[in-house]
């Protein structure tokens, strides 16, 4: 059971704010109230569900009867088990059911979390925790590297001046300066998300996509098709336009790098697809409306050995990659209260950006 307090009978509408499926039942197991999420899941309105025995919608009903009997006899304060929720015109939905008593002894609250949603929620929470830990580690590491790096570069330049009459040795100092500059650029990229203040304005997501598309086609004028699949009804929203362009560009450029062989063969394709999703869950938060932006490619897919770590810093699936593009993209989207998910198999990789709109 979540930590959400059970509202008084006069304020059951507060349950509509929850992302999980919730029913309030009387002592006999009849539905007194069903929140919007449960209405949507079953396919019936609250009015049609009121007074109906919840057992009629659970498979097998015997598990529910046993749980309700245990609650009636005060054997347990909270009862949890996995079951299935019947739905109109759709297959049953596997759920984790939690039955708890309320302050009103004649009523009980039933919370059902779809098992797929539960797994996704746990995955999102782990990703968020890992991202926060990564940010702290990167920030501290970058600062520790930056100071001695400047000293190394300065010393190399002084040595370069002393070796002005020895061109045969100057190449060694050139290597030191060049590599110090390369590491400095890497450190700057690591620190970039923490330096720049967000600059929010009204953002049209299709202007963002068109900017990314233009950059891709300029870099890969032959062999790559960038397909538009837009839902033009998506409203503008408040966001940092430049950060969103960078996030989408990082995903698209990552896809293009994975498509090198197909680009050479002339059949590479990246699709930019926008959609609106309603009643979306971000972790434990439910939002009424969300932007869904897909960056889809027909490349070889994400290697299995890094699939669970692709958003970690310095993890790359190609030689010469810095492993920062996806990390920064995830950071930029999280700064918009959103997240990036990945679904990948050979021939189809889909990076999906989800950002709340309302």
Q: Which of 99, 70, 69, 102 is nearest to 82 (CA)?
A: 99
Cis peptide before 60 (omega within 30 of 0): yes
- In the predicted model, what is the mean pLDDT of the chain? 82
What pLDDT shows up at residue 195? 61
What pLDDT shows up at residue 181? 78
What pLDDT shows up at residue 237? 94
CA–CA distance, 161 with 164 (Å, rounded to integer): 5
What pLDDT shows up at residue 7? 47
Question: Cβ neighbours of residue 199 under 8 Å, at least 6 residues apart?
Answer: 240, 241, 242
The mean pLDDT values, 10 residues at a time, for the chain of 358 residues are: 45 82 93 92 92 94 90 82 90 89 77 74 64 64 68 77 70 75 70 70 95 91 94 92 91 92 93 88 73 94 78 63 74 88 90 90
Q: Hey, is 230 helix, strand or coil?
A: coil
What pLDDT shows up at residue 75? 75
User: What is the token pair recorded at 260?
Assistant: 């090198």
What pLDDT shows up at residue 160? 74
What pLDDT shows up at residue 53? 95
Spell out the domain ranges in the chain: 16-116, 120-194, 201-356
- Helical axes 325-334 vs 167-195, angle rounded to 10°: 20
CA–CA distance, 38 with 28 (Å, rounded to integer): 19
What pLDDT shows up at residue 35? 93
Going by DSSP bridges, is the β-strand pair 58-59/78-87 parallel, antiparallel, or unpaired? antiparallel
State the SS3 of 9-62.
HHHHHHHHHCCCEEEEEECCCEEEEECHHHHHHHCCCHHHHCCCEHHHHEECHH
CATH number of the domain at 201-356, out of 3.20.20.70, 3.40.50.880, 2.40.50.140, 3.30.565.10?
3.30.565.10
Burial class (CB in 10 A: 0-12, 13-18, 19+), 15: buried
Per residue in 179-234, pLDDT (tens digit) is 777 777 766 766 665 566 778 999 999 999 999 999 999 889 899 999 999 999 99
CA–CA distance, 134 with 255 (Å, rounded to integer): 23
CB 112 within 8 A of CB 95: yes
CA–CA distance, 287 with 156 (Å, rounded to integer): 55
Q: Which of 12, 8, 19 is nearest to 111 (CA)?
A: 19
User: What is the token pair recorded at 43?
Assistant: 């396919």
Q: What is the CATH number of domain 16-116?
A: 3.30.450.20
């Amino acid at each position: 059971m979540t930590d959400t307090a059970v509202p008084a009978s006069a304020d059951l509408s507060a349950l509509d704010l929850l992302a999980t499926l919730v029913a309030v039942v009387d002592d006999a197991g009849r539905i007194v109230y069903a929140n919007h999420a449960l209405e949507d899941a079953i396919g019936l309105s609250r009015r049609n569900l009121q007074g109906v025995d919840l057992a009629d919608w659970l498979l097998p009903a015997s598990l529910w009867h046993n749980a309700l009997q245990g609650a009636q006899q005060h054997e347990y304060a909270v009862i949890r088990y996995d079951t299935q929720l019947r739905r109109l015109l759709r297959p049953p939905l596997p759920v984790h059911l939690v039955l708890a008593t309320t302050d009103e002894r004649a009523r009980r609250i039933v919370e059902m979390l779809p098992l797929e949603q539960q797994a996704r929620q746990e995955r999102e929470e782990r990703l968020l925790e890992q991202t926060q830990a990564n940010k702290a580690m990167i920030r501290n590491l970058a600062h520790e590297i930056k100071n001695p790096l400047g000293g190394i570069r300065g010393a190399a330049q002084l040595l370069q001046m002393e070796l002005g009459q020895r061109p045969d040795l100057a190449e060694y100092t050139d290597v030191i300066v060049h590599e110090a500059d390369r590491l400095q650029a890497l450190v700057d990229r690591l620190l970039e998300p923490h330096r720049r203040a967000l600059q929010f304005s009204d953002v049209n997501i299709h202007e963002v996509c068109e900017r990314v598309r233009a950059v891709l086609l300029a870099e890969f004028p032959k062999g790559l098709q960038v397909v538009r699949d837009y839902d033009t009804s998506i409203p503008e929203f408040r966001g940092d336009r430049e950060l969103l362009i960078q996030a989408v560009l990082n995903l698209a450029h990552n896809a293009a790098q994975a498509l090198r062989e197909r680009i050479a063969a002339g059949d590479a394709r990246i699709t930019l697809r926008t959609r609106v999703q309603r009643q979306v869950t971000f972790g434990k938060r439910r939002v009424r409306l969300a932007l869904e932006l897909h960056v889809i490619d027909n490349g070889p897919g994400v290697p299995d050995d890094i699939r669970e770590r692709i958003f970690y810093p310095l993890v790359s699936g190609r030689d010469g990659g810095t492993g920062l593009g996806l990390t920064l993209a995830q950071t930029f989207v999280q700064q918009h209260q959103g997240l990036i998910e990945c679904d990948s198999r050979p021939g189809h990789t889909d990076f999906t950006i989800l950002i709340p709109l309302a």
